Structure 1
Amino acid sequence: MTLGARLRGLLELCRPANAVVSGVLTLIGAYVAGRPFALAALVAAVATVFATAAGNAINDYFDRDIDAINDPERPIPRGAVTPRGALAFSGVLFAGATVLALTLPAFAIVVAVVNLLALVAYTKVFKGLPGAGNAVVAYLGGSTFLFGAAAVGRPLAAVVLFALAALSTLAREVIKDVEDVAGDREEGLNTLPIAVGERAACWLAAAVLAVAVLASPVPYLRDLFGVAYLAVVVPADVVMAYAGYAAFDDPARAQSLLKYGMFLAAAAFVVGRAFA
């Protein structure tokens, strides 16, 4: 294995697009709080990128046997990175995220510590428990916005965005588990679709999405944002509602649609703040 192949493998472990998007979401949290260009917001965004990359790497370390079935082209199953190398690389990234987070306000540090512990414990402790792993990932997804707002000293400004993002992420994670039932059952994991049935899990995801959609007008109803927010969040609601419907027949397509719906919903908050 060449050095270049190993470096590519380490980069793949990070899922760089996913990590960068998490950093952008942190900046959106700071933007919703009214201070997107503060130095603390940038530090928080970089810390989020490092932490997300570390979480992805350690997830691949613990999931290496499952990935050998579900996704054999991942870096560890195909031999581009050794399990020990993935674990060490994750530790370096976690250390970088920790150093950066310690420069932020107290509440942001609390969020960072909880997130780092959740990232480390997710695959080993929570992933195989019905619904628990989904809830952890949902919290982590929403907390990027909360972390950004907390970094600039205004965590309450992003509470609604945090809640809506967490609900949407929870639904998407449940649908992803429906998609991965074969590999998870092979490894003996007791995910939600395995525990309660795939159709019941899809109904739960649809119900969670319904709550998110119904709650989405709250910033407008509380006079936090104006009509511009509604103009963007309504299409996002339509996409997410359709994803909930599509999950019963095509979970892969549904979770992909949810990803776009969630990004559109985040954009609604950016537009809402811009025109507030």
Structure 2
Amino acid sequence: MNIANLNFQSWRGYLELMRPANIVTAWADILVGFAASGSGIIFAKLINGQTNFAILIPLAWLLLATTGLYGGGIVFNDVFDAELDAKERPNRAIPSGRVSLQNATLLGSILFALGIGAAFQVSWLSGAIAIFITFTALLYDSLAKHHSFFGPLNMGLCRGSNLLLGVSLVPAIVWERWYLALIPVLYIAAITAISQGEVHGGKKITGVLALLLIALVLTAVLALGFLTEYRAIAALPFAALLAIRVLPNFIQAAREPVPEKIRNAVKVGVLSLIVLDATVASGFTGLSYGLSVLILLPISIKLAQLFAVT
């Protein structure tokens, strides 16, 4: 019984390191990139029986790629924080001894290799983007996250590049739609900025800055309506849902920057990445596709009840 319990705790420790709920949000990045590349029409053809599921194989490779890349980045975050977590969060997988530092490093390396290898199955550009994501993730984990400006910017680049990884299903479109990466850059910068106070509390000015960035993101997703291929009216319901989910929590964290309110704002903000992606995806591909992306939200929320998000 004790051995079985030990094995369970060990496997749970590995899953805790990978943050399953967060990985689901990374899938949403790929799906919105898929829509922005113009490939969303494939789903309509599938529904009408005009094609078969084999056409989705490149998308499956990219979903596998982002699983490895995001998982690897999250694991190495705890690897680099092992000494600090031993003091501040001793219940986490590495400081608690459920996963050794060596095994965590091996897991993160395998996940990164899986992510890069899967991306190269789609195109050389997809593989190059995957390598860039790996580099930026390790840069954030090791150095940038300790910097109040470069930390949020660095993390934003990781998510923005992840969206472009989805767009890379049609490589030529990456050069046309590169600016879409700026939306998750701003959004993640807001979350990362406010998260810096989740252990000891933060500063009100940081919360105000995060709120301004969220407002800029909401404006940007509707401003995309100036593109002829983007329907802001389809994105509007999702943008409203995003505002309802995120703004109240960020306002509370800005007013009272105590650890509990900050952690709650960060958790809601991370999970609401799916709503942000559904917003942009619906603008490019329509309401039904946006709803299909939004289905990932309850899955991520359920996983967040089982495994930590921050």
**How would you bin the TM-score normalised by the shorter chain?**
0.7 to 0.9
Q: What residue identity is the alignment partner of 1:75? A: A
Structure 2: gaps spanning 5 or more residues: 41-54, 288-310
- Matching residue of 2:286: 275
Offset at 1:38?
Answer: 3.5
C-alpha distance after superposition, 1:105-161 (max 9, x if no partner): 233222211111112222222121222122111111222211101133222565454
Q: CA–CA distance in 2 between the matches of 1:108 and 1:90?
A: 20
Offset at 1:236?
Answer: 2.1
Offset at 1:32?
Answer: 2.7
The CA RMSD over aligned residues, in Å, is: 2.3
- Matching residue of 1:131: 149
- Matching residue of 1:70: 88
Structure 1: gaps spanning 5 or more residues: 183-192
- Matching residue of 1:236: 242
Q: CA–CA distance in 2 between the matches of 1:59 and 1:260?
A: 19
**TM alignment of 1:7-86, pairs within 5 A:** 7-35=11-39, 38-86=56-104
Residue 265 (1) aligns with residue 276 (2)? yes
- Matching residue of 1:155: 174
**TM alignment of 1:238-253, pairs within 5 A:** 238-248=244-254, 249=256, 250-253=261-264
**How many residues in Structure 1 have an aligned counterpart in Structure 2?**
262
Offset at 1:165?
Answer: 1.6
Equivalent pair of 1:160/1:219 in contact (CA under 8 Å)? no
TM-score (ref. length: structure 2): 0.76
Residue 180 (1) aligns with residue 186 (2)? no
Task: List 4+ stretches of structure 1 deviating above 3 A.
Answer: 1-4, 156-161, 237-244, 259-262
Equivalent pair of 2:26/2:67 in contact (CA under 8 Å)? yes
Q: What residue identity is the alignment partner of 2:174? A: P
1:206 to 211, 218, 221: 211
Identity %: 22
- Matching residue of 1:189: none
Larger RCO of the pair (alpha carbons < 8 Å, separation 6+): 2
Residue 140 (1) aligns with residue 158 (2)? yes
Q: CA–CA distance in 2 between the matches of 1:38 and 1:260?
A: 25
TM-score (ref. length: structure 1): 0.84
Q: CA–CA distance in 1 between the matches of 2:286 and 2:27?
A: 23
Offset at 1:237?
Answer: 3.5
**TM alignment of 1:213-228, pairs within 5 A:** 213-226=218-231, 227-228=233-234
- Matching residue of 2:131: 113
Q: What residue identity is the alignment partner of 2:141? A: T
Residue 87 (1) aligns with residue 105 (2)? yes
